[in-house]
Amino acid sequence: MDISLMGFDTPFFRNLHHILDATDDNTTNNKSTNTGPTRAYVRDARAMAATPADVKEYPNSYVFIVDMPGLKSGDIKVQIEDDNVLVISGERKREHDQEEKEGVKYVRMERRIGKFMRKFALPENANIEKISAICQDGVLTVTVEKVPPPEPKKPKTIQVQVA
């Protein structure tokens, strides 16, 4: 159930919902007879919905821009699936080790943690062999070059001979 529809879309309830989901994942190892969507599917759907992106088309390329503050390039994966699906994924984790040692506790937790993912179906003219990804100042920019259009065929002129 989507807690935002019930008016409980506060950081406290989002984190509580996240903890309950993680608890359910760890305790339900048996097979379920439920025919609804799996937890993995729901988790992926949430990750996709929570990862906004901008897509620009230039004459020679497509550019995908995703905000990823605080992430290192090693925490981000850019992949091609099924020959035409661009997948941007990763995970943002809380830093617990240092804080637990110093007795620090959170008073407020509002920054989003957890997995993120976006999938984009690439058009036919996308060149999947020429993809670059740059993460700078918390912004990931993925550039997918376009396949150059075929040269227009020039009409062939045939010399007419006199018989």
Q: pLDDT tens-digit profile of 81-128?
A: 998 999 998 887 776 655 666 777 778 877 777 778 889 999 999 999
Rounded to the nearest 10°, the torsion over CA 11, 17, 18, 20 is: 140
How confident is the model over 36-94, as pLDDT tens digits?
777 766 655 665 566 789 999 999 999 999 988 778 888 899 999 998 999 998 887 77
How confident is the model over 4-22, as pLDDT tens digits?
445 556 666 666 666 666 5
Q: Is the pLDDT of residue 139 over 70?
A: yes
* H-assigned helices in 50-151: 97-101
Contact criterion met (CB below 8 Å) for 144 and 126: yes
| Cα–Cα distance list, 88 to 10, 57, 59, 67 (Å) | 27, 18, 23, 12
Decide: pTM greater than 0.85. no
How high is the pLDDT of residue 3?
Answer: 47
Q: How far apart are the first and last CA of the chain?
A: 85
Helix axes 39-49, 11-27, angle to 10 degrees: 150
Tell me, what DSSP letter sits at residue 128? E
Which token pair is 134?
């740059």
Mean pLDDT on 131-148? 92
How high is the pLDDT of residue 22?
Answer: 56
How high is the pLDDT of residue 134?
Answer: 94
Quote the CA–CA distance of 63 and 162 in Å, as a whole number: 58
Run of H or E residues at 22: helix 11-27
